[in-house]
Amino acid sequence: ETARVNAEQMVTELEEEVEVMKERVVQVESSAQQRVEELEGQMEVTEARIMELTTDYSSEMDALVSKCAELQTSTAELEGERDEAVGELRQSMETCSRLSAELASVEDGAAE
């Protein structure tokens, strides 16, 4: 009889321990689910920020590429203007040299 009572008491204690463990498992699962939901929310915010930054970066790159194209065009125009001015300067120098030679020739002719 005592053994039966001891056995029943042990079974009751084990059942109580099982219930306590079940409650702990439920608490842990609930806590884990809350954490998963928090992390998913943070991930959504992070993904949105990454998309925003990617869009901003893409826009900035497009603007920089456009600016580079403008600068290349301006540089080409300036180089063309420079080359034209150098050509005009050469012509002027040649004209000056020719006129100087003619003047020297006239002066030599007048001195004789």
Per-residue pLDDT of the chain (112 residues; tens, 9 = 90+): 889 899 999 999 999 999 999 999 999 999 999 999 999 999 999 999 999 999 999 999 999 999 999 999 999 999 999 999 999 999 999 999 999 999 999 888 877 7
Report angle CA 104, 88, 82 to the nearest 5 degrees. Answer: 145
Number of residues that make up the chain? 112
pTM: 0.53
68-77 burial, b at 16+ Cβ within 10 Å, e below that, comes to eeeeeeeeee
Token representation of residue 109: 């002719």
3-state secondary structure 62-101: HHHHHHHHHHHHHHHHHHHHHHHHHHHHHHHHHHHHHHHH
